[in-house]
A and B are shown apart, each in its own frame.
Chain A
Amino acid sequence: MFVSYKWLQDYVDLSGITPEELAEKITKSGIEVEGVETLNEGIKGVVIGYVVQREQHPNADKLNKCLVDVGEEAPIQIICGAPNVAQGQKVAVAKVGAVLPGNFKIKRAKLRGEESNGMICSLQELGMEGKIVPKEYAEGIFVFPGDAEVGTDAIGALNRDDSILELGLTPNRSDCLSMLGVAYEVAAILGREVKLPEVRLESSSEMASDYIDIKVEAKEDNPLYVAKVIRNVKIAPSPLWMQTRLMAAGIRPHNNVVDITNYILLEYGQPLHAFDYDRLGSKEIVVRRATEGETMVTLDDVKRTLSADHLVISNGKEPVALAGVMGGANSEVSSETTTVLLESAYFSGAAVRKASKDHGLRSEASARFEKGVDPNRVRVSGDRAAYLMAKYADGEVLGGSVEADTLTVEPAVVSITLEKINRVLGTELSMNVIEDIFSRLQFDTNTEEDTITVTVPTRRGDIRIEEDLIEEVARLYGYDNIPKTLPEGSSTPGHLTGYQQKRRVVRHFLEGAGLYQAVTYSLTSEERVAQYALENGEAIRLAMPMSEDRSMLRLSIVPQLLEVLKYNSARQNENFGVYETGAVFLANKGVELPEEREHLAAAITGVWHSHSWQGEKKPVDFYVLKGILEGLFNKLGVSSQINYVQAKMDGMHPGRTAEILLNGAKIGFVGQVHPTVQKNFDLKDTFVFELSLKAVLEASVEPLHYNAIPRFPSITRDIALVAEKETASGQLKEIIAEAGGKLLKDVQVFDLYEGDRMEAGKKSIAFSLKYEDPEKTLTDEEVTKVHEKVLEALKEKARAVLRG
């Protein structure tokens, strides 16, 4: 809502308060003023001139040579390019020395050999937007009415010596979609009076009811319809002050009748519609739902196909307006109009919203109906419009109104105790303060002991319950005046859950290991959605995606991380790793909500360890990433429950991928991205893992328990084995551990050779075995006995023998 500071003074005395101060006060008490625009900012030296003479420029077809009286001793010569300039016009003249918006300075000039001592201005050149300039002046200069005084300030005459407050209204404050609503608000803030607009109807003896019959079939959508008839109107431009007020509010002037309806819309917040009575095609108005497939042409010359959801005003046969949204072209007021049927109605927000949404037509009118107009302003708005039509369009207002009224208007009556107000706000206000606040709001009150009963005017439909009253008190008392305290009463322990704590541990560990945390989008494309998915679930599609790229909820995080690596690699950052924790989403048939699983994924690429001047450069490999995972599982205390098994998976290198098992159940994978995919993403060797974080964090972990530090020395035996190439080291280790029994404390791989010196299909793998007895020093014989058993088992179970 654009509020003219000058116009507002018609209703509230603003003396002693600048527009900026007013804006600050309004903002602090509840309605955010998003900006204050000074309309004449940067404009100087523009006066009203009279075009004494106009002739063709001798050297240019498209230029006019004008003699303009600007109230000085002699008329001045101005060369003007506007097509509509003519002798006898009153126009805005920027004299030599004048300044126009954009710091455009007017200087004496010679145009094609002819002197020009200024510029005749269009409204756009005076800083107004083309879309609000009256159509007839949109392509040329603006022409003032004949009574404009030559030599006086043109900016003042155009009401540009004004400031516009732009209100950012929240949905509850639609009462301020009108100048009067703003006036009540400002009056409450300032503690001043509201002056209501003038309505003085002199009705003719002929009655409107002789001209029109109103029938409302859709009573729920339209509980009140008021029609007035104004005869003998003379369509002409509306007075300049009205046009300028409309333009300042962002509405383009048309003619007196249409402008008056728009003026009332701004003044009362009540949208009106003027029909050309003679073009209605009948003597009745029937308000009804459209029939399915019915069509009509709206004012903007678009043919609309309607449905039974849409409310229409009809002439008994066909629609003449889309109720509350836009009139029909067939009954539009034109320069020929002599009799006006004026509609002032209460349409339900839901009916108007549906039509305006379906047809993509959001108008000043529909916006107000959607949020709810004041039922008590329907009649007075019509009366005031009729009065203005009599005054500014020479109309004759017929007696009475024709109404269809099923509306019950009950003001809200809300009671509250002083104790409750103070208890909720944390204040110690007295009843006097409360009463004063409601009186400033012009709400009627009745106080009995500790209880105040407030009758809320219908213009404030947002106030229904006690808490609404508390808000009115708080905002007008001032939030600055409310004390600062902290909650008292029962204390609560503040802590993270075990799960949340562990999630933080995971983040810190991975970051300590060199990975950066990424946060990517949950929405992805259909093409990407199933890639690298851990679970065989169905993905979820949005009902109305904004784009194909963001149309489905992800089943995996890895594709998003690959995208991150790609983005960075393309910007010369080819060596790094990222991880992400976040939800993936699986459609859940039968149950309402999808299943959200928290996953952890990581991706690393390029060189991992490097020490530039020492010439060290270690690229990432499978074991770098697996090492990070092992470290993480150690940190979380679940290592003993984890296993890795060779696996194959779409998008992954067939020989360098493992499934991660937790107590035998698959919870994730780790490995190298398939070289083809790497190529598609323009990546060097890249390794990724993704796992169910939930599974890992919910795995049961043994409590920490101290083990005595061994007092007796251990004995280490190293063995180098020749084994089948396919035999996994993990398998050999398991055999060793099993055969080694209690005395075997630790087994580590310390060498692997698969080179030319080995027999085909064989490899050499070396283990270091540590034996220890907590009770005594082991003898060589004791160790040898167990060690022999280990070697025997290796031979028997894996055909792995000591290397000769």
Chain B
Amino acid sequence: MQERLQELQTEVLQKIEQSENLKELNEVRVAYLGKKGPITEVLRGMGKLSAEERPKMGALVNEVREAISVKLEEKQKELEEAEVLEKLASETIDVTLPGRPVKAGSHHPLTKIIEEIEDLFIGMGYQVAEGPEVEKDYYNFEALNLPKGHPARDMQDSFYISEEILLRTHTSPVQARTMEKHQGKGPVKIICPGKVYRRDNDDATHSHQFMQIEGLVIDENIRMSDLKGTLEVFAKKIFGEDREIRLRPSFFPFTEPSVEMDISCKICGGKGCSVCKGTGWIEILGAGMVHPNVLEMAGFDSKKYTGFAFGMGPERIAMLKYGIDDIRHFYTNDVRFLTQFSRHEE
């Protein structure tokens, strides 16, 4: 009997080992451990044994059953794992196929530039001021030291609606309005972005509508050197740390002294190339110390307060920064143009 058991054990373990799938394994289980299986049969024969042999034999049977169970379980686990692997292998996909596109639009490049500049100056304590695009002649010209008949009015031929109302030719009237609101009390620190209009025929470098962004600081003891320092912070942030700036004297009726700011040419590094017309410098913006007439007209005491102002064209900045060659692109809104500005910029 003992021999028979050991034979059975060897036989079962072998059969278990040979099972190739869960179904075969189950068949083995049923065949050997089932009610009609050989082990049960052995147990039935136990009755014939002596009282001394019986417990011994019982222990042996349990041992054999235990061994078989363990093996069965092991094999079961092994086969299950194999089956899972096989299933997963059959589920393999082509990971190089494109994913489902996520819809995303983007800022217009001019908004991108304007927000970048706004954020820079907000960080320096400026607020963003806005004003009407249709303006009174007074705010657009007179309050900025451009009385009627002033020759500099020629520089910006305008779209008039009536004798006294026109489409603003620059964002400077916002400065005039803001100063007026401050009722002669500083400090004023604002940045004014917006659309402006001039009588120009649209071509690669002119547009009858374009953007401007201007800055104004008024306080006691504002100096030309503050303007220079502020503009350098701006130039380095927008155009890169390696850029140099220079100021050249210029003329604007609303500032005195007036300057224009150039930055060193990125293309040639200052040696001179076609982009900078051989000068090594590229003109970026106009600026100056606020003209005392402008301060006085807005109610500021020009003996106590000084200020600086600067103004630039986001189109020009975008054109230089991104290498855009035609200003009309900004207003045509060609998707092939707009989509190029959707990614984040270092």
Contacts and interface: CB of A to CB of B under 8 A. Distances in A.
Contacts of A480: 246-247
Interface in A506-537: 507, 510-523
Interface stretch (B15-23, B24-32, B82-90, B155-163): B155-163
A479 B246 contact: yes
B232 A494 contact: no
A578 interface: yes
Contact of B125 (A371, A494, A553, A611): A494
Nearest to A492: B125
B133 A492 contact: no
A573 B333 CA distance: 12
B228 A573 contact: no
A157 to B, nearest CB: 30
Contact of A470 (B127, B154, B257): B257
A546 interface: yes
Nearest to B132: A596
Nearest to B257: A471
A484 interface: yes
B43 interface: no
Nearest to A36: B278
B331 A542 contact: no
Given A470-B257, A487-B226, A511 B233 contact: no
Nearest to B159: A542
Given A170-B250, A171-B155, A516-B105, A564 B291 contact: no
Contacts of B222: 487
If over half of A's interface residues share one DSSP class (helix, strand or loop), that class is named, otherwise mixed; here it is: mixed
Interface residues of B, number: 87
B227 to A, nearest CB: 9
Contacts of A49: none
B106 A490 contact: no
B306 interface: yes
Contacts of A511: 104-107
B208 A576 contact: no
B111 A517 contact: yes
Interface stretch (B2-10, B70-78, B193-201): B193-201
Given A483-B225, A522-B209, A496 B128 contact: yes
A484 B308 CA distance: 14
Contacts of A592: 136, 164-165
A485 interface: yes
A27 B248 contact: yes
A467 B145 CA distance: 14
A176 to B, nearest CB: 12
A487 B308 CA distance: 10
Contact of B219 (A423, A487, A515, A519): A487
A482 B259 CA distance: 13
Contacts of B127: 492-497
B225 A425 contact: yes
Interface string B207-223: 01100000001011111
A544 interface: yes
A479 B134 contact: no
Interface in A576-635: 576-579, 582-583, 585, 592-594, 596, 608-614
Given A28-B248, A519-B108, A592-B136, A494 B189 contact: yes
Interface stretch (B34-42, B44-52, B56-64, B116-124): B116-124
Contact of B224 (A371, A482, A593): A482
Contacts of A488: 221, 226
A408 B187 CA distance: 43
Interface in B248-295: 248-251, 256-260, 289, 291-292
A486 interface: yes
Contact of A489 (B107, B162, B199, B221): B221
B229 interface: yes
A594 B105 contact: no
Contacts of B225: 425-427, 482-485
Contacts of A521: 208-209, 331
B23 to A, nearest CB: 37
A568 B335 CA distance: 7
B332 interface: yes
A337 to B, nearest CB: 35
A583 B196 CA distance: 12
Given A517-B105, A522-B195, A596-B134, A482 B121 contact: no
Contacts of B223: 423-426, 485
A504 interface: yes
B282 to A, nearest CB: 13
Contacts of A583: 133, 195
A487 B230 CA distance: 8
Interface in A175-224: none
Contacts of A594: 134, 161, 165
Contact of A518 (B100, B108, B130, B135): B108
A146 to B, nearest CB: 43
Of A171, A483, A514, A609, the most chain B CB neighbours within 10 A belong to: A171
Nearest to A512: B104
A773 B149 CA distance: 76
A716 interface: no
B151 interface: yes
Contact of B249 (A30, A520, A582): A30
A38 to B, nearest CB: 13
A74 interface: no
Contact of B228 (A470, A482, A507): A482
B331 A519 contact: yes
Given A521-B209, A543-B162, A479 B107 contact: no
A487 B331 contact: no
Contact of B151 (A371, A474, A495, A593): A371
B306 A494 contact: no
Nearest to A35: B277
Nearest to A560: B333
A496 B132 CA distance: 18
Q: Pick the 7 closest A-B CB pairs, nearest first.
A: A426-B225, A514-B103, A170-B251, A426-B223, A471-B257, A30-B249, A479-B247
Given A425-B224, A466-B292, A496-B128, 5 more contacts: A483-B229, A486-B226, A486-B233, A519-B111, A553-B167
Interface of A: 27-30, 32, 170-173, 349-350, 353, 370-371, 423-427, 465-468, 470-471, 474-475, 479-480, 482-497, 500, 504, 507, 510-523, 540-546, 550, 553, 564, 567-568, 571, 573, 576-579, 582-583, 585, 592-594, 596, 608-614
21 contacts: A32-B260, A350-B149, A466-B292, A471-B257, A479-B246, A483-B229, A486-B226, A487-B230, A490-B219, A492-B125, A495-B127, A500-B130, A512-B105, A517-B106, A521-B209, A544-B160, A567-B334, A568-B333, A611-B100, A612-B98, A613-B98
Interface of B: 97-98, 100-101, 103-108, 110-111, 115, 118, 121-128, 130, 132-136, 149, 151-152, 154-155, 159-162, 164-165, 167, 186-187, 189, 195, 197, 199, 201, 208-209, 217, 219-226, 228-230, 232-233, 246-251, 256-260, 289, 291-292, 306, 330-336, 338-339
